[in-house]
């Protein structure tokens, strides 16, 4: 049966960083809703144009379009063995929709590693984040620098800083997380699938804690 893992945690907690390690380890497809939106933005699709204003302001893109986009992605053949969801669900309505969809497939969310990190640490992480737009790899100028500044270790591409990692938007995103996404911690705890991980540890240490949590269920 396919395995479905949801990575939960505030912006900057380390979801994308850990997703790369975990997806490989368990042979799952890494599906990041933020990356899907950024792809649509780059390709100037209707969805991208709609999402842009919300993303620039650090607000959530409306549930209906977000749910449709993710459903479409995880129904594809390359997701057959299971998916590691990163950045979705982010609202109770999204969580309900995901649950319903997986039920229809005879599956469910198997495990929700929740990476907890206090707000002041998040700001420092997001303001030093550099991303490779080609392969999605994530770096930090201080905590996880590339071998050569500004260049992706994996594919040699030029790294960029995301517009929404600028300070006013970062604070908004952290607030939005607290209001709209944090309720999912209790939601998944009630379903008995939450595994809280201390995200203030080093990238390596957090990775070990996450793998241990997931191995118990997946």
Contacts of 98 (CB under 8 A, 6+ apart): 6, 67, 70, 85, 88, 89, 109
The interface mask with ligand ADP, positions 199-218, x = CB under 6 A, is --xxx--x------------
The interface mask with ligand ADP, positions 66-95, x = CB under 6 A, is x--------------------xx-x---x-
Q: Closest Cα partner for 30 from 40, 16, 47?
A: 16
Task: Decide if residue 139 touches ligand ADP (CB under 6 A).
Answer: yes
Task: Decide if residue 61 touches ligand ADP (CB under 6 A).
Answer: yes
Which residue is listed with tokens 């070990």? Answer: 208
Instruction: Find the binder of ligand ADP among 5, 8, 12, 111 (CB under 6 A).
Output: 12
Element (H or E) spanning 7, and its range?
A: strand 3-7
Q: Measured between alpha carbons, how far is 33 from 71 in angstroms, rounded to an integer?
A: 11
Q: Which of 38, 73, 137, 173 is catalytic?
A: 173
Phi/psi of residue 137, nearest 5 degrees: -65, 145
For residues 2 and 41, which CB has a smaller minimum distance to ligand ADP in the complex? 41
Is 15 labeled as catalytic in the residue annotation?
yes
Q: Measured between alpha carbons, how far is 141 from 89 in angstroms, rounded to an integer?
A: 29
- Other C-beta atoms closer than 10 Å to the C-beta of 59 total 14
Is 129 labeled as catalytic in the residue annotation?
yes
Q: Which of 57, 162, 172, 189 is catalytic?
A: 162
The interface mask with ligand ADP, positions 105-124, x = CB under 6 A, is --------------------
Q: Which stretch binds ligand ADP (CB under 6 A): 139-147, 149-157, 185-193, 208-216?
A: 139-147
In contact, 200 and 121? CB cutoff 8 Å:
yes
Judged by the rule CB under 6 A, the positions of this chain that interact with ligand ADP are 9, 11-17, 33-34, 37, 54-55, 58-61, 66, 87-88, 90, 94, 125, 128-129, 138-140, 143-144, 164, 173, 201-203, 206
């Amino acid at each position: 049966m396919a395995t479905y893992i949801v990575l939960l945690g505030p912006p900057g907690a380390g979801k994308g960083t850990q997703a790369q390690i975990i997806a490989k380890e368990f042979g799952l497809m890494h599906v990041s809703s933020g990356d899907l939106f950024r792809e649509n933005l780059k390709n100037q699709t209707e969805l991208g144009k709609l999402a842009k204003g919300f993303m620039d302001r650090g607000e959530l893109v409306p549930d209906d379009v977000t749910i449709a986009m993710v459903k479409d992605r995880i129904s594809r053949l390359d997701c057959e063995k299971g998916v590691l969801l990163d950045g979705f669900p982010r609202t109770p309505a999204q969580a309900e929709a995901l649950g319903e969809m997986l039920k229809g497939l005879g599956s469910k969310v198997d495990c929700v590693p929740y990476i907890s990190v206090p707000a002041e640490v998040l700001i420092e992480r997001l303001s030093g984040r550099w991303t490779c737009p080609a392969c999605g790899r994530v770096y930090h100028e201080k905590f996880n620098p590339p071998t050569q500044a500004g260049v992706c270790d994996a594919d040699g591409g030029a790294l960029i800083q995301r517009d929404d990692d600028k300070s006013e938007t970062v604070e908004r995103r952290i607030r939005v997380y607290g209001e709209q996404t944090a309720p999912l911690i209790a939601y998944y705890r009630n379903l008995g699938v939450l595994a809280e991980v201390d995200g203030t540890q080093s990238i390596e240490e957090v990775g070990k804690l996450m793998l241990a949590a997931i191995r118990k269920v997946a």
